[in-house]
Amino acid sequence: MNKFISIKNENYKIIKILDTGKSGSSYLISNDKIKYVLKEFRKIEYSYIKFEELLSKELSSYKVLKSIEIPIPNLIDYNEEEKYLVKEYIEGKIATELIAENILNENILKQLFQIVKIAYANSLNIDYYPKNFVYNNKRLYYIDYEIQPFTKEWNFENWGIYYWLNSEGFAKYLKENNPDYINYQNTFKPIVTDEFSKVRSNWLSKFGNEL
């Protein structure tokens, strides 16, 4: 990436990388007045989608998420030729930090379950991995645009919830960058313990009316 990028005829400086995911890398950019997130798609082939289709799929997913009113950052701009998009930057604590610090509260969990309810009602899964959520001004946002058709294997209570339960694991993961603290080795499957299953049952009982 260059150190600067032009968005709507205005130059923005690339401040730092925020994250690298399955389909690309996200950067914080600023023109000293406003901050945005720049997502640059990577040329990696997946069995379910080609590189050339990544941007268009993300744009299509954004429209769906907006229409069903899941709280997400607004889309600012995109470039079909250079395969990137620019979206609103939402400051706040990433959910991985909230989990690692063991400070999830009832307000956060209620909003999380409400987001899940909306996704289920529309036969969708979103990426429930906690790095895709930010808590700002008492509001929880889904900051990714990924959606997939609903499957039980990858839904919230059978997959994503176990990451939200693993406070100790995320504390170690954020410190050592070792995914074995949150996933079974060499998989994208979260660690499940008897204690997690107990708390999971409590959460589903307490907030399950949101689903």
The pLDDT tens digits for 17-48 are: 999 887 889 999 999 999 999 999 987 655 45
* 30 falls within a domain: yes
Is the same domain home to 117 and 199? yes
Residues 18 and 78 both lie in one domain: yes
What pLDDT, on the 0 to 100 scale, is given for residue 50?
78
Q: For a pLDDT cut of 70, what percent of the chain falls above it?
A: 96
Mean of all residue pLDDT scores within the chain: 93
Tell me: do 83 and 109 sit in the same domain. Answer: no
Average pLDDT rounded to a whole number, residues 137-166: 97
Q: pTM for the complete prediction?
A: 0.94
* Each residue's pLDDT tens digit, 78-123: 999 999 999 999 999 999 999 999 999 999 999 999 999 999 999 9
Same domain, 107 and 41: no
pLDDT at position 16, please?
A: 94
Residue 58 belongs to some domain of the structure: no
Into how many domains does the chain fold?
Answer: 2
> Is residue 62 very low, low, confident or very high in pLDDT (cuts 50, 70, 90)?
very high
Say whether pLDDT at 169 is over 90.
yes
Dihedral of CA atoms 125, 127, 128, 132 in degrees, nearest 10, equals: -150
Domain span holding position 79: 7-51+74-88
* Domain shared by 123 and 80, yes or no: no
Q: Does residue 159 share a domain with residue 82?
A: no
* Strand ranges, E, within the chain: 4-7, 10-20, 24-30, 35-41, 75-79, 84-88, 93-94, 124-126, 133-136, 139-142, 147-149
58: closest CA among 148, 149, 143, 146? 146
pLDDT the model gives residue 21: 81
Q: How confident is the model at residue 1 (pLDDT cuts 50, 70, 90)?
A: low
Residue 118 lies in a domain: yes
Q: Which of 142, 183, 143 is nearest to 163 (CA)?
A: 183
Domain edge (last residue) among 63, 88, 113: 88
Give yes or no: residues 18 and 97 share one domain.
no
- Mean predicted confidence (pLDDT) in 54-66: 96
Note the pLDDT of residue 67: 98
82 falls within a domain: yes
Stretch 56-74: mean pLDDT, rounded?
97
Kindly state whether residues 104 and 203 are assigned to the same domain.
Answer: yes
